[in-house]
Amino acid sequence: MTPNRNQMVTLARRPQGKPQREDFLLVEAVIPKPADGEMLIQTLYLSVDPGMRGMMEEPKSYSAGFKVGQPLTGRSVGRVVVSHHADFAAGDFVYERLPWQLYSVSDGRKAKRVDPNVAPLSTYLGVVGVPGFCAYFGLKEIGKPRAGETVVVSGASGAVGMTAVQLAKLESCRVVGIAGGAEKVAYLRDELGLDAVVNYHATDDLRTALDQACPDGIDVYFDNVGGDITQAALSLINHHARIVICGQTSQYNHPSESGKFAPERLIQKSALMQGFVVYDYEDRNDEAVARLGQLIRDGRLQHRENIIEGLENAPQAFIDLFEGKGFGKQLVRLAHITE
């Protein structure tokens, strides 16, 4: 591709079940020209998120749906290359939900300047971005873990889960992660210091494995995946347990299935289950950035990224999310720059 050409990834058709390569199309396009009050952004990193799957259905999830033939959109970090906007200058780095394309025009209303001197640019899509905010607010405002309690996190190897387990450890809880595969289990146990990790790929009796990992039951269950894993966790909750519903990745490719939800368990245990969207806490993002940033600088919060190169590989990176192939925050890098 020549430098004056744009490229985008569009939704070719709505996926049926698991997404396939044919559901996406890489399309050549022209670079749009910013008008007065607008700027041209070169995207540097795309965030690849399981929640985008819901947006590929006819619109009904918590975000507006994608349109067939139109580019996907996602959380992105980019660099302003041309600015006719009073608040942004060429060379600024910004965070915004942008089309999956190399260059996009923005009116700046939803753009937020990010500083590579405060945190590496990629982390504004991960540990100091929405996944980190989910872990921080979901635990602090809903899970409310207390020292000595048992906290179980599903999807523990993912961007949200990995942060949630570490924040729970910092509250002196007994922390149990659920993840798929020996490498992820070893990392969570040996690098992040979890008290136990259940490898759901390696057992056909998840409930027993989880029971053994949680001898005192479960006080806080932070759910990223839903389905059978959540059923097993709910069967082990203690009185006044708190259940944080952050995501339901195992259900996203089967939107018509209910996930066998058993609300009677909440009654028996006087438990609280609450869902949330990270935007509920939008006005407190600076608080989360300050706390998570400080923990990173202190060496008390680790993060992990899986960076794929090139827009043309973004569809496969998305498909791989549902195969557990990635490990940590899944990103696609569209351009290299010196931060």
Q: 27 or 141, CB closer to ligand NAP?
A: 141
185: contact with ligand NAP by CB under 6 A: no
Span near ligand NAP by CB under 6 A; candidates 36-44, 109-117, 144-152, 246-254: 246-254
E strand residue ranges, 290-336: 305-309, 329-333
Q: Please identify which residue in 232, 278, 289, 319 interacts with ligand NAP, judged by CB under 6 A.
A: 278
Q: 194 or 246, CB closer to ligand NAP?
A: 246
Count, residues near ligand NAP per rule CB under 6 A: 33
Within 10 angstroms of residue 190's Cβ, the number of other Cβ atoms is 10
CB of 104 to ligand NAP, least distance (A): 21
Q: Label residue 91 exposed, middle or buried (CB < 10 Å: 0-12, 13-18, 19+).
A: exposed
Q: 165 or 214, CB closer to ligand NAP?
A: 165
Closest C-alpha among 339, 335, 332 to residue 75: 332
CB of 243 to ligand NAP, least distance (A): 13
CB of 306 to ligand NAP, least distance (A): 9
Q: Please identify which residue in 11, 159, 168, 301 interacts with ligand NAP, judged by CB under 6 A.
A: 159
E strand residue ranges, the chain: 5-11, 24-30, 39-47, 73-83, 93-99, 103-106, 112-113, 150-153, 174-179, 196-199, 218-223, 237-245, 272-275, 305-309, 329-333
For the window 212-241, what string marks contact with ligand NAP as x by the rule CB under 6 A? ------------xx---x------------
158: contact with ligand NAP by CB under 6 A: yes
Q: Please identify which residue in 15, 34, 51, 129 interacts with ligand NAP, judged by CB under 6 A.
A: 51
CB of 269 to ligand NAP, least distance (A): 23
Residue type, 91: G
- Hey, which residues between 11 and 30 contact ligand NAP (CB under 6 A)? none
For the window 126-155, what string marks contact with ligand NAP as x by the rule CB under 6 A? ----xx--x--------------------x
Helices (H), 147-279: 159-170, 182-186, 206-213, 227-234, 264-268
- Hey, which residues between 249 and 268 contact ligand NAP (CB under 6 A)? 249-250
Q: Residue 125: left if φ>0, alpha if ψ -120 to 50, beta else—which one?
A: alpha
194: contact with ligand NAP by CB under 6 A: no
User: What b-and-e string marks burial along 24-60, b requiring 16 or more CB atoms within 10 Å of the CB?
Assistant: bebeeeebeebeeebbbbbbbbbbbbbbbbbbbeeee
Q: 172 or 274, CB closer to ligand NAP?
A: 274
CB-based contact 247:224 (threshold 8 Å): yes
**Alpha carbons 40 and 36: distance in angstroms, whole number:** 11
Within 10 angstroms of residue 138's Cβ, the number of other Cβ atoms is 30
Chain residues binding ligand NAP by CB under 6 A are 49-51, 130-131, 134, 155, 157-161, 179-181, 184, 224-225, 229, 246-250, 276-278, 321-322, 324, 326, 329-330
